Chain A
Amino acid sequence: MTHPPKSSAAPPPPPVPGVPTMPAMPPQPGPPEQRGRPAASGRQGPPVGSGRPAPPLPPQVRRTAFVEGADRLRAAATTEPGRLRIIGALLALLVVAFGAVTAWQMADRSAAADDVLNNSQPLSSAAADIYRSLADANTAASSGFLAGGQESADTRKRYETDIDNAAEGLVEAATNSDPGSPAAATVARLNRLLPEYKGLIERARTYNRQGFPVGGAYLRYANEKMQKQMLPQAEVLHTSENQRLRADYADATPYPWAAIGLGVLSLAGLGWAQHRSYRRTNRVLNQGLVAATATATVVLLWLVVGHSVARSDLKGSYNHGVLSLNVLHDARIASLKARGNENLTLVSRGAETKQVGDRTVDAYDYDFRTDMDALGKRLAEAQKLADDATGEKPVTAAVGNMKVWKDRHGAARAEDENGNYANALAKVIGPKDATGECFDSVDDHLSDAIDHETAEFRQAAGDGLGAMTGLSAGAAVLAVLGAAGAVLGIGRRLSEYR
């Protein structure tokens, strides 16, 4: 640790540039303005005073503490121990700040990543489920009507399950939304509409059983409420939950520049201090400073590597999980809407028409085609996004189901166009070879695909969150150790002046 002095080296305490006129020898007395204020000696400041004659005190009592401190500092900077103290304090401050900012920024990112994994993504999925349940309940209700007054046990069960799911989803969404937020208002509106809708459906059922066509009128009214009020609200909810998810991603992934900057600054400061020490003492290593440098390096590396890994995992969870999930949810909703419109084409029997160019077409059949196109597009997207065979299989199967569905739908429409309503009905809700089978298969396969992508998302996002585990606490502890090292290292140099 000690080296022979270099031949051309200046005597150990060289004059410091920038502090003129003063000879920089350690045991020098204070500056000339010190004119003896013995009464104040008890209040001598700790940073510059210990072990030496009283530092200068301002002559006037009315000087502010700031000015007084600045004076003391200036006075201290004229002596090497004073300078060392200042350097030590600054280094410790820098390293502690580096640790604190790292801990703070990573705690933020880690919390956002945790929200992504355990809060906003599940809520976004839950909102999609609410939409799906509502649309599915409506489809089940219209299927029940198509089947006649006595709907099948399956249809009834499906409807009840959907309503239960929607109600539960709404409670969950309500619990997780901030009071007074737009999402909370949307949930409240949906909560109001759900029992209204259910009431209308129950009336429709009762009248159907009595054989009164007013039951059908109630069903139409309920359908209108669902299509015009409830589903748009559910869509708003889904959109806002998705925004929250994207916001959480945006909070979790940006580089912690402040922490990185402070880390680099700390290392530079430590390096400079060591270089300074070497120039003055010819000692290469100062244990304390080396330990501080080592810990700061560890924290900086941990920070950069840990965050980069977390960032890439999170991006992966978005690109392979969330994007796929969004597309799959959209596909599922498109298939549901298509099924609902297919049913309504038969319920309304041409009652609703639409002008397309110069042709008048059945409004529900037109919507069915639009929905099927959307389904086809979403499925193609989902195939592209699927990144492994397990994810792609159910999607491919759904594409196959969709093709059969389109064929069968064409056959059913032909029957209806030819006036064979009963045959058309059998081809849509019949027990065998009906389009209902295809819809159910599409729905099941999409559900499988969604489960798979959810697992992928949880895996990737969980890894990302894992990569940040302990970073905050670790950074804090190491920074304290580093700061201690820096203080000790400087203290060792200081002790040489005693």
Chain B
Amino acid sequence: MRGRRLRDRLKGWGGVGAMAAVCALALAWALLLPARPDSGTTTDAGGPGGVTRATQARADKNCPTPAMEDAPEKQTLSPSSADGRTIQAIKNRPGERRKLIVGVDQNSYRWGYRDPNSGGKGDLEGFDIDLVHRIAKDILGDENAVQFKAIPTDQRIPAIKSGRVDMVVRTMTINCSRLGDVAFSAPYFKTGQQVLAPKSSTITGYDGSLAKKKICTAKGSTANTKLTDDRKAKTLVSTADLRTTVPNQLDCLVRLQLGEVDAVVTDGALAASQAAQDPTVELKGKPFTTEYYGVAMRKDADDLVRRVNQVLVDYRADRANGWQASYGRWLSATLGKTSSTSEPPSPPEYDRKS
């Protein structure tokens, strides 16, 4: 009897002790953090109002350093025009195969898509495709020396890792966990996750109005990861139904139109493309994250990363036929005449050293 009571009492103290130890550890961790030398914790100010960027980044448990966590878009190599191993291999492809193999999307209106009325040639076009042509022209001297491969959202990283494609230019968000698998170029576009719903819907944005609503996301997308994490962290109402996932964000619009889901969450840039195809839906609320699109390549393709970064510098600088012109041609209709909210950081930072 006595022994048992004692044991119980000890057990109780054990729990308290453990909690205290954890608290102490956490405190020590928090205190030590700012003391780290190359910390980038203060660089988050760039986003527009209501930025929850930190929340999103912290969700990446795989992040090796806090710097990468806070500004993954800076984890890239400085630009260079030199040909290295990877570029030589591409240039040495024989005959007809001397092409840049690029993973793209063919379903993102005005980003990478096939105009059904293009007359049966099947040419892809859009903002991403323009950039691909520019890179091909720089590396191989011919803007049409490209083999496009359409890739579903969740196949982007496997396609790069298996070497099926040289690079992926497909509205791909630079984030920390992806940095563990692939290398990114400097950012070429800024966007943020946004909610898309019918105009008549009671949904007002990324908030409590999503309670008991069915939300569609693309499998393997940033939106999918973010929503799952947020619901776990209770920053998203727990009754939000996230079960509907599709291979491509555009498939979400189909589900929305058929009434199988109540809302879509995807990058604002893509959500705007969806809204442009259906006048009865609209973006609800402001973007609730800030993210950057980058060109993804193999992790060891350092020369290719540097080369693409160089192309991006030139592309941004070329007002007549570069970034600005492409924005005007494809995106101004859906994202607004001025490109200021979409422009990547200028000048870009290149924090990756190796």
Q: How large is the interface on A (under 10, 10 to 19, 20 to 34, 35 or more residues)?
A: 35 or more
Stretch at the interface among A208-216, A332-340, A449-457: A208-216
Q: A147-B120, A214-B253 are in contact. Are A350 and B150 (CB under 8 A)?
A: yes
- Tell me how many residue pairs across A and B have CB atoms closer than 8 Å: 106
Is A104 among interface residues, defined by CB-CB distance under 8 A? no
Q: Are A221 and B155 in contact (CB under 8 A)?
A: no
Q: How far is the CB of B101 from chain A (nearest CB, A)?
A: 7
Pick from B97, B116, B118, B158: contact of A418, CB under 8 Å: B97
Shortest Cβ distance from A421 into B: residue: B122
Chain A contact residues, majority secondary structure: helix
A353 to B108, CA, bound (A): 20
A346 to B150, CA, bound (A): 10
A349 to B107, CA, bound (A): 11
Is A207 among interface residues, defined by CB-CB distance under 8 A? yes
Is A148 among interface residues, defined by CB-CB distance under 8 A? yes
Interface residues of A in 416-449 (CB under 8 A from B): 417-422, 425
Is A15 among interface residues, defined by CB-CB distance under 8 A? no
Stretch at the interface among B13-21, B53-61, B243-251, B335-343: B243-251
Is B288 among interface residues, defined by CB-CB distance under 8 A? no
Pick from A145, A217, A418: contact of B254, CB under 8 Å: A217
Interface residues of A in 346-372 (CB under 8 A from B): 346, 348-353, 360
Is B42 among interface residues, defined by CB-CB distance under 8 A? no
Q: Are A218 and B96 in contact (CB under 8 A)?
A: no
Is B114 among interface residues, defined by CB-CB distance under 8 A? yes
Shortest Cβ distance from B274 into A: residue: A214
Is B146 among interface residues, defined by CB-CB distance under 8 A? yes
Q: Are B107 and A149 in contact (CB under 8 A)?
A: no
Quick one: CB contact mask for B248-283 with A, threshold 8 Å, 1 for yes?
101101100100000000000000001001100000
Quick one: CB contact mask for B136-167 with A, threshold 8 Å, 1 for yes?
00000000011111111001001100101000
Q: How far is the CB of A256 from chain B (nearest CB, A)?
A: 58
A95 to B350, CA, bound (A): 107
Q: A213-B107, A221-B254, A425-B122 are in contact. Are A419 and B116 (CB under 8 A)?
A: no
Is B123 among interface residues, defined by CB-CB distance under 8 A? yes
A145 to B106, CA, bound (A): 13
Q: Are A221 and B117 in contact (CB under 8 A)?
A: no
Q: Are A351 and B114 in contact (CB under 8 A)?
A: no
- Additional A-B contact list (16), CB under 8 Å, known A213-B109, A353-B164: A148-B118, A207-B277, A213-B107, A213-B113, A213-B277, A216-B106, A217-B248, A346-B122, A349-B150, A351-B152, A353-B159, A417-B147, A418-B96, A419-B99, A419-B101, A425-B121
The 6 A-B pairs with the shortest beta carbon distances in the complex, nearest first, are A419-B147, A349-B150, A149-B116, A208-B116, A418-B96, A213-B113
